[in-house]
Amino acid sequence: MCLMYLYGTPKAAWPPSPSNLPFYWNGYSAFRKDSYRILTKWSKQLGDVFTVKLAQRRVIVLNDAGIVRKALVEHEQVNSSRLDRVDAIEAVMGDQGKTVFTAPFAAYWGRLRRGINKVLGDKEEVAKMDIPWWNAEWDGKMDPETLRAKVNAKAMEAVITMVMGKQSDLQAEWIETLMDVCEKTEQLQTGRWYYRYGAFIPLARTLGIVLGGQRAVVALRDRALTVLLEMDQGGIAESLNHIAASRNDPTPTQLAPDEKLINLLHLIMHGYRFLASTLFTLLQRLASLPDHVQERIADYPASFVAETLRYTPPVRLYSHTARADQDLEFNGKVYRVDENSTLIVNLDSLHFNQDYYVDPFQFDPERFVGRDNSPSILDKDVKDRVKDHLAFGVGRRACLGSRASQRAMVTVATQIVRKYKLRGGDPDTLVDHPSGIWSWTGRTDTKGAAIEFTSRV
């Protein structure tokens, strides 16, 4: 009794961990080499929830929808924050945790969400985002590099419209500058060791500031911000000028101009990179399908898009941060979660779980047809075919732009199969990138192959 009074109640045990990992680096080298694949491999050995240290950063990996629901839906209030220990690139591009992607769970983050959701969460506002996608210049055969460049430009145009509103004079130079800044910032983040290690080792983050300095990334950031200042300020840009009150925030402090601007930049870069990646994958997948299947997709484009996101999500890992010590109960066991623990959702395991998807390693464009009344993957005790996926995240940190992004993807799928026959493509060769705008969890692209576009007219 006296000892308990002095030292408190003992904490539960951590979830199981992989064994025989190197001292100090722990699981980092394996993760650096194989990314989400090594987490999936460990999940098969350790179960639906396990913990591993990546260098000096402990992460808890969630590999089953049940534990995801428990941690990020039922306990969303305590597991929807962000950690301030990031590398120097993310610190600069997120302005020290001031964007909706990087801000911790607090009133400020809630204000950002309300301002953004006023536009992206409104069906009528999303429906106004009229973006022309396909025209005659797509006729003929295109190598993957040319195709990706065209898709990237169209995706950037779409995201600018989503974030800044329809522009009276959208200049090609703006699109090119923003794409170039994104590319060069990712190269900077992945190319120098002190940036790569910064999210895992505090000393590396310090060295990234001292040795690498921040001048290069600040210059890139400011170059992009200059472009945004030249644009019409509609859409989310206008909405963020007037943050509405809420029950828990009746007199909200309005955003400063620099806070608004850095959020617009992060929204554009994040939306652009992931929309472009998915659209490119979508085209590669379409081209790999027989023509009679391509024709039928016009009847169920939303199912095709959903299956593309399930099978080849642009982000296979995403993270939340716990903001309090807690016990996490799952399948009769109690696991320890400390304040500032990183919780990782592993879609590479979840999206290929046969408990939720029949023949999960088979791409089935009709998988989600007629599934509106089926259970959600996040419903309790699901052991059946589900109607959805988790590519847009879950809980408080779920993507606010999912409605607008899906509308763009469905529009592309519908228009392209009505206008063209596609032949070629390679949707299954993947390329992993350590930088995920600008998170260490990374992103995954489809490498792709040449596609021939033949008009159906």
Residue 5 has pLDDT above 80, yes or no: no
Q: 135: pLDDT confidence band, cut at 50, 70 and 90?
A: low
| Residue 272 CB coordination number (10 Å) | 25
Residue 8 has pLDDT above 80, yes or no: no
Q: What is the DSSP letter of 176?
A: H
pLDDT value at position 132? 58
pLDDT digits (tens, 9 = 90+) for 345-361: 999 999 999 999 999 99
Residues in the chain: 457
End-to-end CA distance of the chain: 83
Q: Pairing between strand 342-346 and 57-62?
A: parallel
Query: Bigger pLDDT: 156 or 4?
Result: 156
Residue 457 has pLDDT above 80, yes or no: no
**CA nearest to 313, candidates 427, 417, 425, 233:** 427
Q: CB-based contacts of 213: which residues, under 8 Å, 6+ apart?
A: none
Q: 87: pLDDT confidence band, cut at 50, 70 and 90?
A: confident
Quick check: 360 and 350 in contact, CB under 8 A? Answer: no
Q: Measured between alpha carbons, how far is 195 from 54 in angstroms, rounded to an integer? A: 15
pLDDT value at position 381? 79
Radius of gyration of the chain (CA): 22
pLDDT digits (tens, 9 = 90+) for 17-64: 999 999 999 999 999 999 999 999 999 999 999 999 999 899 999 999
Averaged pLDDT score across all residues of the chain: 92
* Torsion sign, CA atoms 134, 124, 266, 196: negative
pLDDT digits (tens, 9 = 90+) for 313-333: 999 999 999 999 999 999 999
